[in-house]
Amino acid sequence: MAEEIKAAPMVTGEQLETMLQEWDTPLVVDAYATWCGPCLLMSPEFEAAAKDLEGKVRFVKLDTDLEPQMAGRLGIMGLPTLLFLDKNDDMEAVEQGKAPMAVLKERIEGALRKDSIDEEINGGVRLDACNRGVSRPVAIF
């Protein structure tokens, strides 16, 4: 029986490092563990989103138990964690250490132009604060 090709494949820390060096589209990382109940519940929705946004956004999964060094580098403190990353085109700011290489995609396109932000907050999704000077990815729990 052939293995099903996933729209959101599992990656190693090394593969993720390569993706972070060679940006082509925004990247969403699902940091998870196989023992994490909420991670398992979210998995089908993550795969569905990956299929819906194929070609626009790249979705990958990182098993934090298998890749503890990468999880630490990304600042993963709880599971599940989704990281929304995009390339920062302001290379001068990046070189001066004033902006991170990976930034939240303009705060998810202005929270989709703020039309749905109240729904997101009331739906239990929490966005952590983010400044352009912060050098770690922003996590959505």
| Choice among 36, 42, 94, 130 that is catalytic | 36
- Among 27, 39, 79, 139, the one annotated catalytic: 39
**How many Å apart are CA 25 and CA 28, to the nearest integer?**
10
The pTM is what? Answer: 0.66
pLDDT in tens, 124-137: 333 333 333 333 44
Contact 100, 136 (CB under 8 A): yes
pLDDT by residue (tens digit) across 20-79? 888 788 889 999 999 999 999 999 999 999 999 999 899 999 999 999 999 999 889 999
Phi, psi (deg, nearest 5) at residue 36 = -85, 110
Q: Is 25 exposed, middle or buried (0-12, 13-18, 19+ CB in 10 A)?
A: middle
> Is 130 one of the catalytic residues?
no
